[in-house]
Amino acid sequence: MVPQPPPPRQLPAVDREQERALKRRSVSSLASSIDSGLLRAVPMGLVLRCCGRQWGSRVVDEYHLSRPVNEIDAFLSHDWGTRRWLKTATMMVHFNSVPAAVASLLTCIVACLLIVLRVSDGWLPGTLAIHGTYWFVFVCWQDLRGLCKKNMVFLDRICIARHDADLKTQGILSLGGFLSKSRKLVVLWSPRYFTRLWTAFELSAFLREGEEKEKDIDFAPASMGPLLLYFSIFETLLVASFHILVLRFVESVLQEQKVYLKNESSLWNFTVAMLVICAPAFLVVAPMVLYLGTMQMKALLQLRKQVDEFKIRDAQCSCCQMDHCQPDTGEELLCDRMLVFETLKRWYPLETSSEACLDRFDETVHKELGGYVRNRLGAGAPPLRHIVAISVHPLLGFLCMYVYLAVNAHLFPWSALAWIIGWFQAPPMVYLALWEFLQMWRLGVRFGDRCSLWLIFLLGEAAGIGFNVAIWMQYTVLKYTFGHDVNGPVLGSLAFMWITFILPYVYEYSPKLFGLK
C-alpha cells in the first residue's frame, strides 16, 4: 500500500514587508526570470568529487559551495532516493564518455604515427596508452575541462539555501527562473522519478518554456551508467581474447607453421587460453549486463504507464514524509507542496480554484510529458553516442596492434594493407554482441514472468555466441581459402559482416528510414 502524505501545513506567517518582497519575487518567477543574487550553480568537478559524495543522503547545508552565475550549463533533475553510485556512474557516462573516446582516438593516432615512424617498437605501449587515456579522461574530464571553463550545474541541495527559510522560499519559487537560465535539463531518471513532486514539477516547468526546449532535455536512466560500464568490461575481455588469437597466429607464422591450428597441442593451449580469458566475460559480466539491462528495460516500459497515471496530489515530497519537522534539530520545515501549488496557481491564472489548477497540471503532465516520453524513449535502447563512446577504446587498442603488424609486414608473406583490413573484423563482433544483449533484455521483459530469467539468458547467450561465431567463421574460412592478401572474397566477407551489424542499428535508431515503426 502506498503511504499517503500527511496534509501539508500552512506556510509560516511573514511580516508585511517580507511578504511584499516575496510576492514581488514570486511574480517574477512566474515570468521565468530570477533575481541575479539567487541564480547559483556549482562546478561539475565538485558534484562528482569523491565518487559523488554530494549525492549522498546528508543533511548538511552546503549552500556556500555554490556560486552566483549568469547562466547554468545543466540543470540536474533527480530524486534523492536513487543510489549515489548509480547517479555518479551515469553522470560520468553521460558527460565524460564522449570526451574520453575523442581523447583515446587522438592517443591512437599519435601511437600509430610513432609506430609508423618507427619511434616506438612494439604495440603494447600504444594499446595501454589508449586504454589509460580513456579511463583517465572518463574519470577526470570534469576537472580537466574545469581548467579551461567550468561546467556549471544546478544541484538543488547546494544551489537553494536551506539555512534561511526566506532564501529557501525565494529559491523554490524561482525554480522556473533557474530552469529558464539552464541550457540543458539532464533527467537522471529512476522508477521513483514520477512519484516525486519535485522531479515531475521540474520536467514540466522546463517543457513549459516552449517546444524548442524539448531538444535540450537529456534523458539518462540512472541505471544506464553501470550497465554500459559492465558492457565495456565485457568488450575489453572479448577484445583481449582477439589480441591473444592474433599473437598466437603471428607466433605460428613466424615459426613457419603454415596452418597453426593443425598442431594439436597448440590448438589445445589456444582453446584453453581463449576459454580462460572469455570465461569471466561470459559467465560473470554478461549475466550482469543481461540482468541490469532487463531490469532497466522493464522500468522504462512502466514509465509510460507511470506518466499516464500521474496525479500531483499523490506525488511524494520529503517535507511531508518528515511531518515538516527536521529530524535532527526539531526545526519546523516549510512545505514544498504548498510552494509548488502556489506556483501552479500562477501558471494557470485563468483557473478559478486550487483544485482546478492541480487537475490542469495533471492533464499537462499526461499530454506533454506522455508525448515527450513516447518520442524520446523509443524502444528503450541506450543512446547510440554513448554506446559508441563507451566501446571505442578496446577497438582502438586493437587497431594499434594491427598497425604495428602492418609496419612489420615484411616478416609475413602478405601486405601491410592485408593486416589493416584484418582489423575490420572486430567492430562487427562487438556491436553485434551489444545488439544481441538488447534483444535479450526485451525477451527477459516479455517472458521473464513465465520462465526463469537465467534460462532465457543462457539460451540467448548460446544463440548469440553461435551467431557471432558463424559470422566470424565465414570470414576466417574465406581468408584461409583465398589467402591473407587483399582479395575480392575476403573484402566481400568483411562487407557482409559490417552490413550484418549496421542494419539492426539502423533499424533500432532510425526506424523511420525503413518505415518499419
Cβ distance to Zn ion smaller for residue 335 or 430: 335
Task: Report CA dihedral (37, 198, 179, 143) to the nearest 10 degrees.
Answer: 80
Cβ distance to Zn ion smaller for residue 7 or 37: 7
Cβ distance to Zn ion smaller for residue 182 or 316: 316
- What are the residues facing 220 on neighbouring strands? 188
Cβ distance to Zn ion smaller for residue 130 or 333: 333
> In whole angstroms, how close is the CB of 318 to Zn ion at the nearest point?
8
Cβ distance to Zn ion smaller for residue 74 or 320: 320
> In whole angstroms, how close is the CB of 355 to Zn ion at the nearest point?
18
Locate cell 581548467: which residue? 147
Give the chain's radius of gyration (CA, Å).
Answer: 28
CA angle 383-387-390, nearest 5°? 135
> In whole angstroms, how close is the CB of 335 to Zn ion at the nearest point?
3
d(CA 401, CA 244): 11
Per-residue buried b or exposed e for 409-418, using 16+ beta carbons within 10 Å of the residue's own CB: eeebeeebeb
Residue among 51, 336, 78 at smallest CA distance from 185: 78
> In whole angstroms, how close is the CB of 317 to Zn ion at the nearest point?
5
> In whole angstroms, how close is the CB of 91 to Zn ion at the nearest point?
28
Cβ distance to Zn ion smaller for residue 332 or 351: 332
> In whole angstroms, how close is the CB of 336 to Zn ion at the nearest point?
5
3-state secondary structure of 352: coil
Contact positions toward Zn ion, by CB under 5 A? 8, 319-320, 335, 337
Q: Please check whether residue 127 is in contact with residue 401, taking contact to mean a CB–CB distance below 8 angstroms.
A: yes
Spell out the residues 6+ positions from residue 495 whose beta carbon is closer than 8 angstroms to its own: none
Cβ distance to Zn ion smaller for residue 218 or 332: 332
Dump the DSSP string for 169-202.
Answer: HHHHHTHHHHHHTEEEEEEEE-TTGGGBHHHHHH
d(CA 392, CA 398): 10
In one letter, which amino acid is 177?
Answer: G
d(CA 485, CA 427): 20
Cβ distance to Zn ion smaller for residue 87 or 324: 324
Cβ distance to Zn ion smaller for residue 71 or 314: 314
> In whole angstroms, how close is the CB of 59 to Zn ion at the nearest point?
16
d(CA 72, CA 76): 10
d(CA 261, CA 272): 13
Dump the DSSP string for 376-424.
Answer: HHTTSPPPHHHHHHHHHHHHHHHHHHHHHHHHTGGGSSS-HHHHHHHGG
Whole-angstrom CA distances from 398 to 147, 236, 258 are 32, 10, 24
d(CA 227, CA 240): 20
Cβ distance to Zn ion smaller for residue 108 or 315: 315
> In whole angstroms, how close is the CB of 322 to Zn ion at the nearest point?
8
> In whole angstroms, how close is the CB of 319 to Zn ion at the nearest point?
4
> In whole angstroms, how close is the CB of 79 to Zn ion at the nearest point?
15
